[in-house]
Amino acid sequence: MANEAKEWWERNAREFQAMAQLPIEVIYGSHVTEEKLQLIGPVAGKHLLEIGCGGAQCGIAFAKQGAIVTGVDIAAAQLAIAQELAEQNSVSITFYQRDMTDLAPIASESQDIVFTSIALHYVDDIVSCFKEVHRTLRSNGLFVFSVGHPFSAMMDGATLLPTRSYFDTGKVVLGLEVSDEVGFAFAENRRTVSDYFNALVAAGFIVEEMVEPDIRPVDPTDPQNHLWGQTPQFLELFPSILIFKSRKG
């Protein structure tokens, strides 16, 4: 995982969590929930691993439904928040501070489900990450994840015009031109839809479903529809979230 991303989250986790006010719910992105999509289904009694768990709002929601949850995140600051939230919600979750490409504390073939929401753009080596997920899953285990839609990631929310080519992919570090202070720079990895699909196949997964949720009609008065550089008009025209549902082959 990008060191820049780790340092950014160590520095900014509490500010982000206070601003985002994420609900205790299984969310794939704004207005896109497991309750609506039913991609995972009942989880009671199942071992579920959330990677890139952040404040573990999704993991806590799964635990409230009876799942045996483990959470992994690169940032100690995020995991401290996750532990606080788990205690506030009276659920027990095992947490590990790990890079998503190294899930060594998680035993092979120990998990029924692996889940992650809007976190994989921090991972530099996506194939290694998916291979580790594959290792931890039992036979026929389920891997479900969401990412910001690669097409929308290149569009300007105000002008509705592209800011770069869809094919300009790879790691991008933002902020170093302003300051080299630790925790100031932010890093992400830009990928195409096929990059995610092909990485799943390379890791041994069988893709069952790809979802591009349509959240229309978009309420222009809802503050959620003005976050992350997007606008209601943008969300009327473009998919903001991409979701893959796959199984261990």
Domain with 169 in it:
3-248
- Pairwise CA distance, residues 218 & 235, whole Å: 7
What average pLDDT does the segment 50-65 reach? Answer: 98
Q: Which of 145, 165, 100 is nearest to 126 (CA)?
A: 100
Pairing label, strands 111-117, 205-211: unpaired
Helix (H, G, I), strand (E, B) or coil at 119: coil
Burial (CB count within 10 angstroms: exposed 0-12, middle 13-18, buried 19+), residue 214: exposed
Who wins on pLDDT, 243 or 1? 243
Does position 71 have pLDDT exceeding 90, yes or no? yes
Q: What is the pLDDT of residues 144-180, one digit of tens each?
A: 999 999 999 999 999 999 999 999 999 999 876 666 6
CATH number reported for the structural domain that contains residue 79 in this entry: 3.40.50.150
Run of H or E including 31: none
Tell me the pTM: 0.95
Run of H or E including 12: helix 3-20
pLDDT at 229: 83
**Domains held by the chain: number:** 1
What average pLDDT does the segment 110-128 reach? Answer: 97
What average pLDDT does the segment 192-219 reach? Answer: 97
pLDDT at 183: 64
Q: What angle do the packed helices 76-88 and 57-64 form, to 10 degrees? A: 30
- Pairwise CA distance, residues 192 & 1, whole Å: 18
